[in-house]
Amino acid sequence: MDKIKIGFIGAGNMARALVGGLITSGVPAGNLYSFDRTPSQLQTLCRDTGIVAAEDNQHLVDQCDVVVLAVKPQAMHAMISALQLGEHIPLILSIAAGLRTGALSQWFGREVPLVRAMPNTPALVRAGATGLYATRHVTDSQREIAETIMRAVGITLWLEDEAQLDAVTALSGSGPAYFFYLMEAMELAGQQLGLPEETARLLTVQTAFGAAKLALEVEEEPGVLRERVTSPGGTTEQAIQHLDKHKTRDILIAAVKAARDRSEQLAQQLEQTS
């Protein structure tokens, strides 16, 4: 990765997270480029990280071995249509939600090595989870490069079927919101039970962090870990029985499926309106 030039079209939060992760992992800042239509945003990223500000998107594409598409999905068609690809064809890594590789390839007007990534917001603190899908034009070495880039902000998992990225969007892409929703409820419950607001918040956040860390570091499945906390006749069992009575598990599964369905709908809408 020391000699590979990576360009970011878009200088928003996710681009900033990836740039920071790559620099921390040893990629020279001078090998990283960015361009953004908002000058202040581009200047801030380059000033804070030491990466190179490209003259425009075309200059960035011409200079780089990998181009990360980090702009809003609604702006992607116009941006790609303005690019000219000559003999130099970089690896294209799209982190735009909902835009399928077929549409992206069509907008480029030719077949390009294209990897589609679905990261989530914990990537901002380098604790993300990213699903990856590569088209048949991506070489093994390019797959490794794409994985290395996204692994700079968390774990990565390859998918063989692009349609599965809608499930990834529903599970891990939207997933942080589900946990925040639960944390909100737990924090409010703590306050209603008499705890000070700050105490309820810290206990909730640390408990969520500890549970996730435990689930990552032991071999047992979450169901086994839950059973270990749930002593017969105890307080936890009472809470779990209440959740089961109200079919909370079924509600959560249905919610994730609803998010998956919406992901599919949005992808179709983006392709139809571009």
Q: Evaluate whether residue 138 is within a structural domain.
A: yes
Distance CA 61, CA 175 (A): 33
Q: Evaluate whether residue 272 is within a structural domain.
A: no
Residues 6+ apart with CB under 8 A from 260: 166, 167, 169, 170
For residue 100, give its domain range: 6-168
User: What are the CA-CA distances from residue 87 to residues 110, 112, 146, 233, 259 (Å)?
Assistant: 12, 11, 21, 70, 40
User: What are the CA-CA distances from residue 243 to residues 227, 251, 274 (Å)?
Assistant: 14, 10, 44
Q: Evaluate whether residue 50 is within a structural domain.
A: yes
Residue 180 shares a structural domain with residue 164: no
Which two structure tokens, joined as six digits, stand for 55? 């003259």
Q: What is the pLDDT of residue 54?
A: 97
Q: What is the pLDDT of residue 271?
A: 81
Q: What is the pLDDT of residue 274?
A: 66
Q: What is the pLDDT of residue 272?
A: 78
Order of strands, edge to edge, in the sheet holding 91-94?
A: 52-53, 32-35, 6-9, 66-69, 91-94, 114-118, 128-134, 154-158
Distance CA 170, CA 168 (A): 5
Q: What is the pLDDT of residue 216?
A: 95
Q: What is the pLDDT of residue 86?
A: 86
Strand partners of residue 52: 33
pTM reported for the whole predicted model: 0.92
Strand partners of residue 118: 131
Q: Evaluate whether residue 274 is within a structural domain.
A: no
Strands 114-118 and 128-134: antiparallel
Residue 211 shares a structural domain with residue 159: no
CATH code where residue 209 lies: 1.10.3730.10
| pLDDT, block means (10 residues), the chain with 274 residues | 92 96 96 96 96 96 97 93 92 94 93 96 96 97 97 97 96 97 98 98 98 96 96 96 97 97 91 74
- Residue at a domain's end among 119, 141, 168: 168
Please count the structural domains in the chain. 2
Q: Evaluate whether residue 14 is within a structural domain.
A: yes
CATH code where residue 163 lies: 3.40.50.720
Distance CA 135, CA 264 (A): 19
Between CA 119 and CA 267, with CA 117 as vertex, the angle to 5 degrees is: 95
Residue 236 shares a structural domain with residue 252: yes
- Residue at a domain's end among 120, 136, 168: 168
Return the H-helix or E-strand segment holding 188: helix 175-192
